Amino acid sequence: MKRILSTLAILLCIPLSNLPAQNRFIPQDTTINVSTEVEGDTLLAGRQIFSLLSESFSGGGTVIVRQSGTLRNALLSHINSNSERVIIGYRIRIYFDNSQNARVRSEAIANQFVREYPHIKAYLSHVNPYFKVTVGDFRTKYEAQQFASQISSRYPSVFIVREQIGYPIVSTSGTSL
């Protein structure tokens, strides 16, 4: 009896999560961006600090920046390599269906949303058999909840999903666009 209990205790201590039967397949969305460029007042989005220093402002002096081509190229390389950053954040799902006309309907809903909210990105995705439309790139769940409450009258089946998002641009007011 002791031998059976000790064997059972040893077996219970072995982690079962490493067994192949425990690994689950997690489907990945295929995403298509259907929105326009983000408009908004941001600190340095799309601008270079060296060009800002060279601009003259009323009541101010003039700054002359002499930089080598190597420095300019290094800065552009750094900007390009970091432009596709992704983080874990929140999006709002406004459509989720698997009916026969789900693809056409999801495209129509995404286009309608982009017309109503041109500053918010909309994403079409398909994981067989579902077509989905998610919107926004929100850093926090609170931001997503605020926007979801704004659009819930127009899109009554909204819910918040946690997924990888594009790095949202922060406006000067401190909120994500």
Q: Note the pLDDT of residue 136.
A: 93
- Shared domain check, 69 and 118: no
- Shared domain check, 91 and 66: no
CB 114 within 8 A of CB 37: no
What CA–CA distances, in Å, run from 19 to 16, 22, 23, 24, 26?
Answer: 6, 6, 7, 11, 17
- Shared domain check, 155 and 100: yes
Residue 64 falls within a domain, yes or no?
Answer: yes
CB 141 within 8 A of CB 160: yes
- Shared domain check, 139 and 91: yes
Which of 37, 57, 82 terminates a domain? The answer is: 82
- Shared domain check, 97 and 158: yes
Strands 122-127 and 159-166: unpaired
Return the closest-CA partner of residue 43 out of 174, 148, 157, 145.
174
Taking only the tens place, the pLDDT of each residue in 7-40 is 766 666 665 555 555 555 555 555 555 544 444 4
Q: What would the mean pLDDT of 158-173 be, rounded to a whole number?
A: 78
Beta bridge partners of 130: 127
In angstroms, the CA 177 to CA 175 distance is: 6
Residues 6+ apart with CB under 8 A from 93: 132, 133, 134, 158, 159, 160, 161
Q: CATH number of the domain that 111 lies in?
A: 3.30.70.1070
Split into its structural domains, the chain has a count of: 2
Taking only the tens place, the pLDDT of each residue in 99-152 is 999 999 999 999 999 999 999 999 999 888 899 999 999 999 999 999 999 999
Residue 20 falls within a domain, yes or no?
Answer: no
- Shared domain check, 158 and 91: yes
Q: Note the pLDDT of residue 89.
A: 93
Mean of all residue pLDDT scores within the chain: 77
Domain of 74 in residue numbering reads as 49-82
Return the closest-CA partner of residue 94 out of 131, 44, 47, 66.
131
- Shared domain check, 73 and 58: yes
